[in-house]
Chain A
Amino acid sequence: AQTVTQSQPEMSVQEAETVTLSCTYDTSENNYYLFWYKQPPSRQMILVIRQEAYKQQNATENRFSVNFQKAAKSFSLKISDSQLGDTAMYFCAFMKHVGLTGGGNKLTFGTGTQLKVEL
């Protein structure tokens, strides 16, 4: 079974600053995906960024980037130039690679980090 750990329940950052959210996971799998999801207050959960474990290059999406350390089983999210709209709960999630004929893409979520961006 996989586990995902987010050790920072709450964080705050000043607008325009950079913040890093940490995530570690435990698995015996070699092929898998990692995700960061964002859940703004009373709004829909949206995908922020994804990383395929076989890719060494860290994923980047505009102001969001990850630091993926496969050997250390670490997957942190860096948000640059933080904006007020980044205020949300951020969830790290793991999915085992099951292939085209495999079963459902089940996600295992961490407990989340509540990020508050302040003026």
Chain B
Amino acid sequence: EADIYQTPRYLVIGTGKKITLECSQTMGHDKMYWYQQDPGMELHLIHYSYGVNSTEKGDLSSESTVSRIRTEHFPLTLESARPSHTSQYLCASSGFSTSGRGAQYFGPGTRLTVL
């Protein structure tokens, strides 16, 4: 399995709390991604980054924000969580040095529940 980590794995919080989902990779990949996935459903890209200090919004509108200060780290923040944010959040990374060009490698995900 690829070396990409997400913490926490599970998070249950109350409405209005600020949360940060952590994602780190040790593969030196330049590109990183955040996806949102409801149970049994497809993945939707919400943020991506081409490299340090580069972030873009994805195809699915999200109230979350991201930052990319270091190559290996791509945290996602929700300033004020709401029940509609309840979902699974998957982080992924890719790089041209990867033997499988174009392939993204995924973390284990964070399952977020907002009460």
Interface residue ranges, A against B (CB under 8 Å): 33, 35, 37, 43-47, 50, 52, 89, 91, 95, 97, 100, 103-107, 109-112, 114
Contact = CB atoms under 8 A, between A and B. Distances in A.
A74 B33 CA distance: 26
Interface of B: 1, 31, 33, 40-43, 45, 48-50, 56, 58-59, 90, 92, 94, 96, 100-109
A106 B106 contact: no
Given A47-B100, A112-B40, A104 B90 contact: no
A106 B92 CA distance: 11
Given A105-B94, A106-B45, A50 B108 contact: no
B42 A33 contact: no
Nearest to B96: A100
A105 B49 contact: no
Contacts, number: 62
B100 A44 contact: no
A95 B48 CA distance: 14
Contacts of B104: 47, 105, 107
Contacts of A52: 101
16 contacts: A45-B90, A47-B103, A47-B105, A89-B40, A91-B43, A100-B96, A104-B48, A104-B49, A105-B94, A106-B48, A106-B58, A106-B59, A110-B42, A111-B41, A112-B41, A114-B40
